A and B are shown apart, each in its own frame.
Chain A
């Protein structure tokens, strides 16, 4: 079982809807990440929170809004999405803010998002 929990597992939303993806980890990790993965492609980094502060935003459109309420939780708020935003959204965490063999990325199962 993964130690990074993502909800929901599946989400279908219309282009005018507002929804949120949730991620939770209780490993005491201090960095959390959002990745987007299209079919047959590697994950693409969207956001990084390090010690609860946004440290990386990979030029993600404003219709995606991350939030890190505390060190264990990470949300991704969605609004006015487009059909091309349909993808698998993966959350990950690492022990520190630097990915090393001692602090590898641990991924959740992902949320499969479909925008209609």
Chain B
């Protein structure tokens, strides 16, 4: 079973629009960790944000914000005022405390920001 689901395969937005990337996860652990990574065409996976299961406080960091809701098992990520440099594939990922070395990636959402 897929532990992390990113239903949006591809998204295109016009520059300066806001865009939200959806992520739904599945776990039986009470302690787990959620992450978002960005992968530009260069290939490197860049770590963006992280959250643990005990902290549902939603935060804003610059143009990035995230909405963590345990009730719906969702960890959505929003980019405000998108820029062309935001064009990349974005991966949501889950790590469970019981299997700490396992890092479950979602299938990724390819974001294209059109100038």
The answer on A and B forming one complex is: yes
Q: Interface on A for B, CB 8 Å cutoff?
A: 2, 31, 40-43, 45, 48, 50, 55-56, 88, 90, 92, 97-101, 104-110, 112
CB of A43 within 8 A of CB of B52, answer no
A-B pair count, CB < 8 Å, reads: 67
**B57 CB within 8 Å of chain A:** no
Distance in Å: Cβ of A35 to nearest Cβ of chain B: 9
- A2 and B42 CA atoms in complex are apart in Å by 12
Q: Interface on B for A, CB 8 Å cutoff?
A: 33, 35, 37, 42-47, 50-52, 91, 95, 97, 100-103, 105-108, 110
With A45-B102, A45-B103 as known contacts, state yes or no: A109 contacts B44, CB within 8 Å: yes
Residue of B nearest to A49 (CB): B101
- A19 and B106 CA atoms in complex are apart in Å by 31
Query: What residues of chain B lie closer than 8 Å to A56, measured between beta carbons?
Result: 101-102
Distance in Å: Cβ of B45 to nearest Cβ of chain A: 4
Q: Quick one: which of B47, B95, B97, B101 has the most chain A CB within 10 A?
A: B101
Query: What residues of chain A lie closer than 8 Å to B110, measured between beta carbons?
Result: 40
CB of A97 within 8 A of CB of B100, answer yes
Query: What residues of chain B lie closer than 8 Å to A90, measured between beta carbons?
Result: 43, 45
- A55 and B106 CA atoms in complex are apart in Å by 23
Query: What residues of chain B lie closer than 8 Å to A104, measured between beta carbons?
Result: 35, 47, 50
Query: What residues of chain A lie closer than 8 Å to B106, measured between beta carbons?
Result: 42
- A50 and B102 CA atoms in complex are apart in Å by 12
Contact of A112 among B43, B51, B95, B97 (CB under 8 A): B43
Residue of B nearest to A107 (CB): B45
Contact of A110 among B35, B43, B50, B107 (CB under 8 A): B43
Q: List 9 A-B contacts (CB under 8 A).
A: A40-B108, A40-B110, A42-B105, A55-B101, A99-B33, A100-B97, A101-B51, A109-B43, A112-B43
